[in-house]
């Protein structure tokens, strides 16, 4: 059972700077940071995991039966150039499992996200393992040296970040850099035995669950806190911003934020992108009633008719301007309603599809007609 948790929309900047990592794009370029009246540096949350780990420590959740399983959703903020599927304020839903390093927690979360994304089009999953900080640091040095010898073939931004974060070269969309990275040594081949076993166990559970995935040694998540399992779900219909959601294990994060050593794993998914990846909506039959007024003295009555219809569960629109009857019928057409009530010399009901118009007794007869 995942328990719902809400953390504040902003936190101390330090939480993200430390938690996400100084060398990441998010911390270097994408945070909305400001000072409050007391001169404290605050940041609109760019992600949900560091705040949840902060809350886990602050609220003594390590004293509960482990693991602690949490979920959240809400607004997040990143200072990025807006484009299709990329916004400066967006919504994420996320899930986290703290207090266990068992591969079954990783696999459970990946299966959970795949179930959440079941209705989306052209979904695929990539997974990898980033090992532990020791192997990762040794690998980072190895990769930096290896890329240093091929600097001329790399794009300018990748070269500029070589010292700080050579792994991000895997994310480059520059063709020359991609060609180099295809040949580069891979972290997944440098895992120590325990991490390799952990990754094999996660894969085996995913196989048991019948989940199709691709192992992608070039999968590098943009945040520094990941260890061991990382994964990303994409949709083929989203264009450049294809990521629907992703996450991974972050076994050192709680400790980094001042708690006792506590393993954790989780994911976040972008709600707007989930909606963009849904099948094209199928238009349902027209429904609802427009209440038109052909005689100004019947306006008040029209208000009552719309209220009565709504109280009976029928979607009703009322004429709020002083359009002519012709204008009102045009408006009813634009709204796509099935019927229009016309209050003129009589109480009439017009079927917008057939065009048939006849006198009716009142609201009760309208309700029988539209039921």
- Binding site residues, ligand AMP, CB under 6 A: 47, 78, 80, 86-87, 90, 92, 222, 243-246, 268-270, 272-273
Q: How far is the CB of 243 from ligand AMP (least distance, A)?
A: 4
Q: Which residue is nearest to ligand AMP (CB)?
A: 270
Which region, left, alpha or beta, applies to residue 288 given φ > 0 means left and ψ of -120 to 50 means alpha? left
Q: How far is the CB of 249 from ligand AMP (least distance, A)?
A: 14
Closer of 49 and 262 to ligand AMP (Cβ): 49
Residues 295, 348 contacting (CB under 8 angstroms): no
Residues 243, 154 contacting (CB under 8 angstroms): no
Q: How far is the CB of 283 from ligand AMP (least distance, A)?
A: 27
d(CA 259, CA 241): 35
Closer of 32 and 146 to ligand AMP (Cβ): 32
Q: How far is the CB of 219 from ligand AMP (least distance, A)?
A: 11
Q: Residues in the chain, how many? A: 371
Q: How far is the CB of 8 from ligand AMP (least distance, A)?
A: 18
Closer of 240 and 282 to ligand AMP (Cβ): 240
As a whole number of Å, the CA-based R_g of the chain is: 28
- Specify the residue for token string 């780990």: 53
Closer of 86 and 126 to ligand AMP (Cβ): 86
d(CA 43, CA 55): 16
Q: How far is the CB of 274 from ligand AMP (least distance, A)?
A: 8
Strands, DSSP E only, in 143-251? 214-215, 227-235, 243-249
Nearest to 201 by CA among 127, 269, 309, 143: 127
Q: Would you state the structure tokens that stand for residue 201, as one six-digit string? A: 């166990």
Closer of 79 and 295 to ligand AMP (Cβ): 79
Closer of 252 and 288 to ligand AMP (Cβ): 252
């Amino acid at each position: 059972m995942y328990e719902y948790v809400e953390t504040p929309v902003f936190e101390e900047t330090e939480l993200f700077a430390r938690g996400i990592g100084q060398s990441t794009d998010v911390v270097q370029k994408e945070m909305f940071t400001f000072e409050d009246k007391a001169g404290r540096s605050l940041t609109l949350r760019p992600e949900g995991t560091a705040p949840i780990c902060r809350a886990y420590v602050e609220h003594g959740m390590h004293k509960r039966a482990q693991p602690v399983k949490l979920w959240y959703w809400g607004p997040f903020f990143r200072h990025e150039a807006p484009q299709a599927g990329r916004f400066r304020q967006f919504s994420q839903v996320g899930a986290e499992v703290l207090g266990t390093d068992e591969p079954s927690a990783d696999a459970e979360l990946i299966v959970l996200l795949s179930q959440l994304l079941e209705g989306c089009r052209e979904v695929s999953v990539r997974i990898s393992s980033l090992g532990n900080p020791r192997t990762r640091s040794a690998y980072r040095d190895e990769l930096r040296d290896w890329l240093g010898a091929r600097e001329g073939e790399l794009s300018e931004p990748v070269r500029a970040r070589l010292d700080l974060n050579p792994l991000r070269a895997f994310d480059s969309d520059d063709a020359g850099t991609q060609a180099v990275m295809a040949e580069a040594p891979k972290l997944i081949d440098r895992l120590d035995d325990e991490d390799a076993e952990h990754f094999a166990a996660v894969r085996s559970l995913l196989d048991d669950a019948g989940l199709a995935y691709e192992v992608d040694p070039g999968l590098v998540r943009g945040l520094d806190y990941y260890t061991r399992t990382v994964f990303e779900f994409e949709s083929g219909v989203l264009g450049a911003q294809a990521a629907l959601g992703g996450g991974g294990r972050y076994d050192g994060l709680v400790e980094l934020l001042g708690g006792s050593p506590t393993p954790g794993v989780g994911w976040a998914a972008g709600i707007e992108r989930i909606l963009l990846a849904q099948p094209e909506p199928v238009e349902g039959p027209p429904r609802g009633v427009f209440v038109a007024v052909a005689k100004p003295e019947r306006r008040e009555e029209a208000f009552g008719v719309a209220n009565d219809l709504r109280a009976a569960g029928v979607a009703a629109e009322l004429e709020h301007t002083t359009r002519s009857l012709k204008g009102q019928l045009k408006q009813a057409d634009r709204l796509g309603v099935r019927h229009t009530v016309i209050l003129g010399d009589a109480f009439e009901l017009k079927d917008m599809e057939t065009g048939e118009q006849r006198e009716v007794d009142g609201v009760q007869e309208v309700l029988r007609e539209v039921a």
